[in-house]
Structure 1
Amino acid sequence: MKRRISAFKLLSTIAVAALMTACATSYQPVPPFSAVDLDAGGRALKTQNLLVILDASSSMEEGVQQWKKFDVATAVVRNLGQTLPENKGLQSGMRVFGGDPAVFKKSTQLIDDVGAFDRSDYEKALATVSGTGGPSPLPAALDAAAADMEGMKGKIALIIVTDGEKMGMAPAENARAIKEKFGDSVCIYPVQVGDAPDGKKLLDEITSVGGCGFGVSAQSLLGGQQMADFVAKIFLGDQLDADGDGVLDSRDKCPGTPAGVKVDADGCPLDSDGDGVADYKDKCPGTPAGVTVDADGCPLDSDGDGVADYKDRCPGTPAGVSVDAYGCPESVLDSGSSAWTFNEINFETAKAEIRPSSYGILDEIAAALVANPQLKVAVEGHTDNTGARAFNMDLSQKRAQSVVDYLAKKGVSPDRLKAKGYGPDRPIADNSTREGRAKNRRVQFVKIN
């Protein structure tokens, strides 16, 4: 019977031990973390240095909610490293107190030397803290931290991740010594793992001693945005607007805009006429849509006649030729008309031979036609009613042809010219007077398509 009781007791002991072991290892994994990118925020560092103190003492083996405190602490430190912006000049270091005695022979140890923040080195250092153990020598860690911070220049953030338990109030005096030594250069940020009242009392006192820092719960920093807000509040200043145009650098598509230049919502200088040249550079504002412009925002003037290409009815005008508002050479063929009459073109009596006195006006007409290669004209010959109609009809045709031939010799393409004689059939004045008959004897140029 006694043997049975002994066996029962043994089985009971084993069951209780197994149950206790199961309880001790039933903690849930800390939630996965997704970091928020702060490198692209267009913000400068307001705190240039970081020293992390991590509690790995034996009390961190206990639970908080469904997690082990040590897992929460290391997750917070890891999340911090994944969120801190790289390549902005941040200096950082990491110190641990407590820890697995097989790994850490000292009560506190610097596991990531102070230097330029490197995420990879930071995570490798944290990985060395694989377990907990020993007492909670936070005072020693704070004293050592003061030495760690000696060479730091600029503002310093001292972040202490701990449960604050079983330490009494002594660490507050070590924190006070740090504050007295570094003054406003250092701000202390206690991160409490768990919610033990004695730990909260100590960390609240350290926060008060630190002056410019603040305390926070470790459990509240397990999310990406919460950690990003924590990091931004400590380390980052206001978002930058380097060119002072009112648009933050993080969304400024045109950085470096000169002072005083008006910009749009993207930070780009206004271009009111949409010609691709900003208003502050545009010497020709109001250019119509679709018009090609030069670097000054002015419409192109390929032939340099002072009339923009989009208005120029006579492109390719030779250099130095005076033109009208349409870019056409100012000449005897006014570009605003569709018909031109010349009484100065004279012929030998009753003949189609052009008198030398008419060569000057004909040369001007030829020059105008050459300068306006798109212009085609009908050369019309007209006579008065003196003599037989048939004779005058034939004469007017021959005279018109003589003019066409002359112009062709001066470089006008013949396919742009058409000769037509009308004789006395289209008078413009009274043939009964000498003056009227003189007006009716004329050569007329009519624009044709």
Structure 2
Amino acid sequence: MKPNFSTLFFVVTIAFLMTACATPYQAVPPFTPVDVDARGHALKTQNVVVILDASSSMDDGYQQWKKFDIATAVVHNMAETIPADAGIKSGLRTYGHDPKFSSKSTLLIDDVGDFDKIGSQKALSTITKAGGTSPLERAIDAAADDLDGLDGNSALIIVTDGKDMGMGPVASATAIKEKIGASLCIYPVLVGDDGGGQWLVDEIARIGGCGFATNADNLARGQQMADFVNKVFIGDMMDSDGDGVADDLDRCPGTPAGVKVDAVGCPLDSDKDGVPDYLDKCPGTPAGVKVDSTGCPLDSDGDGVPDFLDKCPGTPAGVKVDDSGCPVTILDAGASSWTFNNINFEVSKAAIQPSSYGILDEIAAGLAANPRMKVVVEGHTDSTGARAFNMDLSQRRAQAVADYLIGKGISPDRLSAKGYGPDRPVADNDTRLGRSKNRRVQFTRVD
């Protein structure tokens, strides 16, 4: 029987209208990645398994795109954004599948290993069409084995529409969290706007504890994806010495624990002497003063008065000085003679006893402090023994003292030696005390 013309016209018209009204799905918008610089940062997450929903509901449209195209774009763009040199281990697992692709409910299409951007994207490109059921719980269970035994913190990123999945994924999320513990964070990414799917991703994120749920719409642009990658993978700037200044800004790495530092990580040096406060034994040194390794002003002559205050540098070792670093002279500039009974010699000899070196050094310092002074070094004995012997002995002793002072830097033309023997007593030679007073060295000023 010939077809009725009007019936044929109706069928053709309906077919035409259906074709005309159908809106073909568009390609997802182009993506321009934004660099994520992990240098100088401690990794927050060292391992990640991404679970991609390839079930039949993902073949449906959302706005002007297929949900599966959106989901694969999220995974692809994430791989574009993760720093290649960050040291992350990654794997990609799918579930559902078009029967022509695989009959298995879940597949690890990119084994867990060092993150390889090209390898990850190549594995992703093998799945071109969604289909099959939605056994997300099986994918989560398998991911628990994928992540088992890995060092460091792990992330489970689930890209799904969450549609018509029941409570199985919730139970599996609880199980994987209990198995791996605090080192696992879960980040579900919802594709589309299904109400049940929204509840599911929120609940899985809650179970994960330290992760969060988001929508694929919030990851479409380069900066959005970079922010996501930073939050999931990249931790704070590394601060190896724990001084509060990140390593890439720290000009003084290795600062000891507890030491206060400035904005560039260097120990504080309040007096700017080049020695940090925690090593500075002389804080508050005036600006420009040279210091030693302990931060104390230099004292080149070792007299206890720092160089910047020392008005008499080069004082001989052991000589007493005043606050200005000048010798405390025992040769009072206002006197004309000075008598010393504590310059001792060996018995009947002119050899000076070492115990007398200190007083002689002070005398030398006194002469050095008065460079125009000239003196006669006089030797005196008591009356014990022959006069001629005592005259010779006193002369030799006076000369020995003069020679000692010359050896300390006093010019010879400022000194002369004279022995008077017992001829100029100052006390009674008949007494022991008197004789000790007569045995003396006297300095008489001649200028």
> Normalised by the shorter chain, which TM-score bucket?
0.5 to 0.7
Calculate the TM-score normalised by the size of structure 2. 0.59
Shift of 1:129: 1.6
1:111 alignment counterpart: 109
Q: SS where residue 93 of structure 1 aligns?
A: strand
1:425 alignment counterpart: none
Calculate the TM-score normalised by the size of structure 1. 0.59
User: Which residue type is aligned with residue 35 of structure 1?
Assistant: D
2:175 alignment counterpart: 180
Whether 1:220 and 2:200 are equivalent positions in the alignment is: no
CA distance in 2, matches of 1:302, 1:271: 23
CA distance in 1, matches of 2:289, 2:206: 68
Cα pair 1:143 1:174 within 8 Å, conserved: no
User: Which residue type is aligned with residue 276 of structure 1?
Assistant: G
The equivalent position to 1:311 in structure 2, one of 309, 328, 338, is 309
The equivalent position to 1:133 in structure 2, one of 106, 129, 134, is 129
CA distance in 1, matches of 2:102, 2:83: 30
The equivalent position to 2:51 in structure 1, one of 42, 45, 53, is 53
Cα RMSD (Å) = 4.9
Cα 1:32/1:88, change in 2 over 3 Å: closer
Cα pair 1:302 1:316 within 8 Å, conserved: yes
Matches within 5 A, 1:18-57: 24=24, 26-27=26-27, 29-41=29-41, 43=42, 45=44, 49-56=47-54
User: Which residue type is aligned with residue 123 of structure 2?
Assistant: T
Cα pair 1:61 1:132 within 8 Å, conserved: no
CA distance in 1, matches of 2:80, 2:293: 47
CA distance in 2, matches of 1:364, 1:179: 89
Shift of 1:287: 0.6
CA distance in 1, matches of 2:365, 2:34: 77
CA distance in 2, matches of 1:31, 1:81: 12
Cα 1:324/1:247, change in 2 over 3 Å: same
Q: Which runs of 5+ in 2 are unaligned?
A: 1-11, 339-359, 375-404, 415-443
2:343 alignment counterpart: none
Q: Which runs of 5+ in 1 are unaligned?
A: 1-9, 335-339, 346-362, 380-405, 417-440, 445-449
Shift of 1:212: 5.8
User: Which residue type is aligned with residue 283 of structure 1?
Assistant: K
Cα 1:150/1:285, change in 2 over 3 Å: closer
- Over the matched positions of the two proteins, sequence identity in percent amounts to 52
Q: SS where residue 280 of structure 1 aligns?
A: helix
CA distance in 1, matches of 2:242, 2:91: 35
Shift of 1:216: 0.8
Q: SS where residue 309 of structure 1 aligns?
A: coil
Instruction: Tell which deviates more after alignment, 142-151 or 84-93.
Output: 84-93
CA distance in 2, matches of 1:207, 1:39: 29
Cα 1:286/1:208, change in 2 over 3 Å: closer
CA distance in 2, matches of 1:50, 1:86: 14
Cα 1:113/1:284, change in 2 over 3 Å: same
Q: SS where residue 164 of structure 1 aligns?
A: coil
Cα pair 1:245 1:257 within 8 Å, conserved: yes
Shift of 1:208: 5.8
CA distance in 2, matches of 1:138, 1:371: 103
CA distance in 2, matches of 1:343, 1:76: 104
CA distance in 1, matches of 2:290, 2:148: 63
1:124 alignment counterpart: 119
2:191 alignment counterpart: 193
Matches within 5 A, 1:5-24: 24=24
Cα 1:314/1:54, change in 2 over 3 Å: same
Cα 1:38/1:154, change in 2 over 3 Å: closer
The equivalent position to 2:298 in structure 1, one of 300, 309, 325, is 300
Cα 1:228/1:292, change in 2 over 3 Å: farther
CA distance in 1, matches of 2:140, 2:445: 114
CA distance in 1, matches of 2:193, 2:257: 53
Cα 1:366/1:226, change in 2 over 3 Å: same
Shift of 1:300: 1.6
CA distance in 1, matches of 2:300, 2:220: 67
Cα pair 1:112 1:125 within 8 Å, conserved: yes
Matches within 5 A, 1:14-413: 24=24, 26-27=26-27, 29-41=29-41, 43=42, 45=44, 49-56=47-54, 60=58, 64=62, 69-70=67-68, 72-81=70-79, 91-97=89-95, 108-115=106-113, 118-119=114-115, 121-130=116-125, 131-139=127-135, 140-152=138-150, 156-165=154-163, 168-170=164-166, 172-180=167-175, 182-183=177-178, 185=181, 186-197=184-195, 199-200=197-198, 202-204=200-202, 206-207=204-205, 213-223=211-221, 226-227=224-225, 229-231=227-229, 233-234=231-232, 254=252, 256-331=254-329, 340=333, 343-344=336-337, 367-368=364-365, 412=411
CA distance in 1, matches of 2:40, 2:82: 12
Cα pair 2:177 2:208 within 8 Å, conserved: no
Q: Give the number of aligned pairs.
A: 348
Q: SS where residue 33 of structure 2 aligns?
A: coil
Shift of 1:27: 3.0
